[in-house]
Structures are given as structure tokens and as C-alpha cells.
């Protein structure tokens, strides 16, 4: 298991993530801008706090700089989730939604379209109120997320520094076979 990074700017599940990480012995980095009070987390064992300047997306970029494959990011920012997935890390929202590389492009497109609507003066609906069900869903999924990231089967010993060079064990039925006889008449 890598490191758990928490984008603590307006994160309602910071305490829950810290509790679960402590129970499992994971190291945690809590990143937030200078307006957040991170001192309350600094004294906990296995927790590092990083305070960044108050600039836009400063916490996101501080997380991405430190991120490695196998890490987990807790964020509600789709842009940060996309960058985490691009680095081989996992990303989960405070509502327990595990971000996927298969759908992140569509989510970014929706975010862009809604931002364009807001710039044009139209209203878009905001997120629903955070409820206790969201907290429970997060706790459940965050707990099993690192286990689900482990490679399985024949890829279990594959490291992120290697390229995919393994050949299939058996040739495919559609593999190209050499011609026998003349070039014009395959057998």
C-alpha cells in the first residue's frame, strides 16, 4: 500500500479517512491551503500535514507532485482525480465514489460544460447535501480500495517500471499462420 493523500480543502471525511488509515497502518498526507486548520492532524502518528499557499488548485498540484503509482487520493475534485488516475493512483470522493479511468473523460467533459453554462450566466444545480449515508459509503469503499488495486493473476509480480512485454501463454486462434505452398493458395 502506498500513501493516502487527502485533499482537505472542504473535505467532510478527513477524520474518517484518518481513522481507517490508522487502523490499517497506512501513512497519510493531509494537504490544504493556509485557511484550513491542519494543526489538529499534525500530532497524529503516521500523518504528515502540508500547508500550501491560498492559490487556486495549489493543494491539488502539491498532491500531484508527490503522487506515485499505488497511492490513494481522497478528493471531490474531478480534475485532481484525473491527474491521480493518470499517475497510476486511485481516487475516491468523500461520497464513496471510486473514480475510474474508463469514465473520467466523460466526467471532465460534464464539468467543463457546466462551467461554460455558469460563465454564460445560467444556473446549474450544485451537489446534493452531504448525508450520513455518504459517510458510511466512503468508509466502506475506502477500506477495501487499496486491496482492490493490487494486481491479480499473472500480473501480480509486474511492476510499474516494466513495460507490457509478456506474451500470451497460448497463441490466439486468430494469430497469423505462415503460408504453406505457393503464395496464392493458402491451406
Quote the pTM value.
0.75
Q: Is 158 exposed, middle or buried (0-12, 13-18, 19+ CB in 10 A)?
A: middle
Chain segment 95-138, per-residue pLDDT in tens: 999 999 999 999 999 989 989 999 999 987 878 899 999 999 99
- List the beta bridge partners of residue 4: 28, 72
152 or 63, greater pLDDT: 63
The C-alpha atoms of residue 21 and residue 83 are separated, in whole angstroms, by 22
Q: Tally Cβ neighbours within 10 Å of residue 17.
A: 24
Output the CA–CA distances (angstroms, integers) from residue 157 to 71, 160, 169, in the order listed: 18, 10, 16
Residues of the chain with pLDDT > 70, as a percent, come to 77
- Domains of the chain by start residue, with CATH: 3-155 (3.40.50)
Amino acid at each position: 500500500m502506498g500513501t493516502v493523500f487527502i485533499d482537505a480543502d472542504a473535505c467532510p471525511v478527513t477524520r474518517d479517512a484518518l481513522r481507517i488509515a490508522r487502523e490499517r497502518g497506512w501513512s497519510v498526507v493531509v494537504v490544504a491551503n493556509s485557511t484550513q486548520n491542519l494543526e489538529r492532524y499534525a500530532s497524529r502518528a503516521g500523518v504528515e500535514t502540508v500547508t500550501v499557499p491560498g492559490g487556486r488548485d495549489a493543494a491539488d498540484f502539491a498532491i500531484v507532485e508527490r503522487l506515485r503509482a499505488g497511492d490513494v487520493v481522497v478528493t471531490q475534485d474531478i480534475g485532481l482525480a484525473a491527474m491521480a488516475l493518470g499517475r497510476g493512483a486511485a481516487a475516491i470522493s468523500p461520497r464513496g465514489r471510486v473514480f475510474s479511468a474508463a469514465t473520467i473523460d466523460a466526467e471532465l467533459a460534464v464539468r467543463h460544460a457546466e462551467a461554460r453554462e455558469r460563465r454564460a450566466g445560467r444556473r446549474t444545480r450544485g451537489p446534493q447535501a452531504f448525508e450520513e449515508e455518504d459517510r458510511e459509503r466512503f468508509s466502506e469503499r475506502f477500506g477495501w480500495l487499496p486491496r482492490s488495486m493490487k494486481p491479480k493473476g499473472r500480473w501480480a509480480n509486474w511492476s510499474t517500471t516494466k513495460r507490457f512485454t509478456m506474451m500470451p501463454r497460448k497463441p490466439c486462434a486468430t494469430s497469423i499462420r505462415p503460408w504453406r505452398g505457393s503464395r496464392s493458395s493458402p491451406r
